[in-house]
Amino acid sequence: MDEPRRRNRSRSAAVPATMTLRVGTLLLFVVVLVGGCAGAGASTNASATPIPVSVTTPEAAVAQVIATEKRLTGIAPKNPDAIGQSAWYEVAPASGVGAFVVTVRIGWGDCPAGCIHEHVWHYAVAPDGAVSVVSETGPAVPDDAWPSPNGAGQRTGIGGVVTAGPVCPVEKNPPDPACAPRPVDGAVLVFGDASGTEVARTTAAPDGTFFAELPAGFYVVTPQPAKGFLGTPGPQSVTVTDGAAIRLALAYDTGIR
């Protein structure tokens, strides 16, 4: 009786050990399989790289800069003949490396007189489209000073502010806030297309602001003479791109000296 009982106990002890070995081997296989799949997925993501962009023109370099800061949408190139241009850009080739240096300037505060404040960036744009900031100077830019304060998706057209100055007979440095140019309520602005045909006109609000919603294209903005002012701002040539709002600063001359 003792011998058979010992055999039965020996057999019953051997079965669970075998099953444990098989289950352990199966679990190890599952872990390795799952780990391999996860590793394959991680490897795929790590090897993914952005599609390179070829930058070979100044226009393409500016587009890359604007893509990094949507509030620059609609900014115009620097126009030496424009009075009161608050926001502009310049592009220069970076010698020997096939890249471009894009200078961006945003000014605010009495811009018809040259802008009291300004913020300037110098961007380097590589041939593959990579953008880096080389230098940046100036105070933080107020929301309403950006060419497109809300970034992409805003109305397309031309807007800005109309002011008149000088207000005081003697200009001071630093400027006296009491002598800041005053808004021109009711100033009439005419918008013509490339052929010279009038396509729109608008009137400045009491705070001097205006906006004309226009499709993308080339326009000439012509301020009309206003009563009580000695000088009228000259025509401004503007190119509007889709989804951009161009900002202008137009200044009437009060005649005060």
Q: Is the pTM of this model over 0.85?
A: no
Side chain identity at residue 241, one-letter code? T
73 vs 118: CA distance, rounded Å: 18
pLDDT at 114: 81
Give tens-digit pLDDT for 204-251: 988 888 999 999 899 999 999 999 999 999 999 998 887 777 888 899
Q: Which two tokens stand for residue 65?
A: 């800069």
Residue 43 has pLDDT above 90, yes or no: no
Q: Please indicate whether residue 145 or residue 90 has the higher confidence score (pLDDT).
A: 90
Q: Is 117 exposed, middle or buried (0-12, 13-18, 19+ CB in 10 A)?
A: middle
What's the angle, vertex CA 223, arms to CA 244 and CA 59, rounded to 5? Answer: 30
CA angle 135, 106, 96 (to 5 degrees): 40
pLDDT score for 133: 94
Tokens encoding 211: 């906006």
Instruction: Look at residue 52 in the predicted model and tell me its pLDDT.
Output: 56
Q: How far is the C-alpha of 16 from the C-alpha of 23, rounded, in Å? A: 10
* DSSP assigned state of 183: E
| Coil/strand/helix, residue 60 | helix
Tokens 């380097």 locate to: 124
pLDDT, residue 96, reads 65
44-64 pLDDT per residue, tens: 333 333 345 688 888 889 889
How would you label 69-103 residue by residue, b for 16+ Cβ within 10 Å and e otherwise?
bbbbbbbbeeeeebebbbbbbebeeeeeeebbbbb
Residue 191: burial class (beta carbons within 10 Å; 0-12, 13-18, 19+): buried
Q: Which of 232, 221, 216, 215 is nearest to 192 (CA)?
A: 221
